[in-house]
Amino acid sequence: MDKIIDVAVIMGSDSDLPTMAECLKIFDKFGISYSVNVGSAHRTPEHVKKCVQKSIATGAKVFIAVAGMSAALPGVVASETTFPVIGVPMDGKYLASMDALFSVSQMPPFMPVACVSIGKAGAINSAILAIQILAINDAKLADKFKVYRQDMAKSIVAKDEKLNKTGYVKYIEEMKK
């Protein structure tokens, strides 16, 4: 029997994995079960369809689809499921990654994909958004996420206090260490 999962991550290329590791680290921290697959919307559409079907069969409630350039993968994944799809446009060397951003964010009516930031920030935000979606029906996860947000806020306040105590020159020097 396949592992039961909460989130399915499908990447258009294995070159996306180092960036998406930021997403997976957050899932690991929260105890979110997930699968990770590689499938191209253009080169392996049948494989993508099978990945979506298998993910649904193993319990996926949220999909994260990751792609660069034309970034068709999030839309293809959305066409194969009625579950929420979060699209992560990848950093690219062409068109300042705007091609991927526009492809993910400009879905036609009735085929929504939630578009997050480009690259690493998008990987992180995709994990956070997936957790927020899952937390709607999971009080323990919602509480854990609330504490996570509170801890994040405390760390920013601590940085502000340190900056004001040490001054910007020393603060920057310490950041480099």
64 — alpha (psi -120 to 50), left (phi > 0) or beta? beta
Look up the pTM and report it. 0.93
**Residue 152 to residue 95: CA distance in whole angstroms:** 34
Binned average pLDDT, 10 residues per bin, the chain of 177 residues: 89 96 98 97 96 97 94 96 97 85 92 96 98 97 98 97 96 92
Domain-wise residue ranges, the chain: 7-137, 139-177
Q: Which helix (H) or strand (E) holds 162?
A: helix 139-166
Q: Report the pLDDT value the prediction gives residue 1, as an integer from 0 to 100.
A: 54
Q: Report the pLDDT value the prediction gives residue 3, as an integer from 0 to 100.
A: 86
At residue 98's C-alpha, the angle toward residues 132 and 55, to 5°, is 40
**Residue 11 to residue 63: CA distance in whole angstroms:** 11
What is 7-137's CATH number? 3.40.50.1970
User: Which strands make up the sheet holding 34-38, listed edge to edge?
Assistant: 34-38, 7-11, 62-67, 85-89, 114-115
User: At 107, which amino acid appears?
Assistant: M
Q: Please state, in angstroms and as integers, the Cα–Cα distance from residue 78 to each residue in 73, 151, 158, 164, following that order.
A: 8, 34, 41, 47
Tell which residue, 52, 50, 75, has the closest CA to residue 62.
52
11 — alpha (psi -120 to 50), left (phi > 0) or beta? beta
Q: Report the pLDDT value the prediction gives residue 37, as an integer from 0 to 100.
A: 98
Q: Report the pLDDT value the prediction gives residue 118, as an integer from 0 to 100.
A: 96
For helices 139-166 and 119-135, what crossing angle results, to 10°? 140
Q: Report the pLDDT value the prediction gives residue 64, as an integer from 0 to 100.
A: 98
Tell which residue, 132, 118, 109, has the closest CA to residue 87.
118
